[in-house]
Amino acid sequence: MLLLHINDESSNLKSVIVGIANSNGPQPSPEDCYDPKSLRHVLAGTYPIEKDMIAELAEFVAVLEEYQVKVYRPEVIENYNQIFSRDIGFVIDDTFVKSNILPDRAGELNAINYLISQIHPSKVIELPQECHVEGGDVVVYNDYLFIGTYYGSDYSEYITARTNKAAIKALSKLFPSKTVKPLELKKSNTDPKSNALHLDCCFQPLGQGKAIMHPGGFLHQEDVEWIRAFFGRDNIFEIDAFEMTQMHSNIFSISNEVVVIEKRFVRLNAWLVDNGFTTEAINFSEISKQGGLLRCATLPLERA
């Protein structure tokens, strides 16, 4: 059976699913884009090409394997975007939760069925259809579940609103030992600086009690102040709107001391080093044009 254990974002990583870019499919039309950053690159003629994204993922996998992490990959679906494996499911403690993702992306979950079939059926949860949730909105932090969401009556108008109130209620019931902290995010279908696609696009805990946050990604100032009080202001690296669009909060922890980071993030890298982290800097700039970065491309299965 496949071992599952996720209780935080930064304990020693043992196994993970990393997305693939092989047979990624044609460039989407503007009306088919799922997020404003992809839309901007489509309109600008700078949308990433497959071979560059394959190379970036290979560099990422090589770093993980250097740290003895077991890396799984989805099965290839022809002409289908399968880069952001974080969205399709997530592990809480020893349980795998299938995401209810955008209908056009449902095939991505089928591509990891060979792994899901190795999990005891009692540890695989399929939420009711009315529960919209994606893994990028779910952050496990010991006894807490931080969950990005949007409660507005105009929820259905935002292609960028991915996790709803029904999912919050369902996860609260399924994991009663966890304190669920919903965090409402700002949404925009067209402006990357005004849109936090997922919670991990504007917030992520790291090891050693540290965190990264973009205050402007949250709809309510009281949530920003709650996070500042919870972690302590001195332990938070705050990023601006531009840095959010470049995915500065979407780095990835291999352990409490080691993080993988995009090599362009000079200011963040300096802060991490000053705070005792080892950073593995790689190129992920082409993949970031689709509105996701390193955390988005991973689905951790086991941390020790």
Superfamily of structural domain 13-303: L-arginine/glycine Amidinotransferase; Chain A (3.75.10.10)
With 0-12 CB in 10 A as exposed, 13-18 as middle and 19+ as buried, what is 125? middle
Is pLDDT above 80 for 102? no
pTM of the model: 0.95
Cα(89)–Cα(104) distance, integer angstroms:
15
Locate the domains of the chain by residue range: 13-303
Q: What is the average per-residue pLDDT within 72-85?
A: 95
Q: Which residues pair with 121 in a beta bridge?
A: none
Whole-number pLDDT of residue 281? 98
Single out the residue of 285, 292, 246, 294 nearest to residue 267, CA to CA: 246
Cα(116)–Cα(163) distance, integer angstroms:
22
Is pLDDT above 80 for 93? yes
Where helices occur in the chain by DSSP H, the ranges are: 36-44, 50-66, 107-110, 113-116, 165-174, 221-231, 241-245, 266-274
Single out the residue of 255, 272, 264 nearest to residue 293, CA to CA: 264
Q: What confidence tens digit (pLDDT) does each residue in 112-170 have?
A: 999 999 999 999 999 999 999 999 999 999 999 999 999 999 999 999 999 999 999 99
Q: How many CB atoms lie within 10 A of CB 209?
A: 15
Single out the residue of 93, 89, 171, 163 nearest to residue 133, CA to CA: 163
The per-residue pLDDT of the chain, averaged, comes to: 95
DSSP 196-243: -SSGGGTEEE-STT-EEE-GGGBS-HHHHHHHHHHH-GGGEEE--HHH
The answer to whether the beta carbons of residues 59 and 282 sit under 8 Å apart is: yes
Lowest mean pLDDT among 23-27, 53-57, 134-138, 209-213: 23-27
Is pLDDT above 80 for 272? yes
Cα(4)–Cα(11) distance, integer angstroms:
13
Query: How is residue 54 written in tokens?
Result: 């394959």
Percent of the chain with pLDDT over 90: 90
User: What is the bridge-based pairing of β-strands 89-92 and 95-98?
Assistant: antiparallel
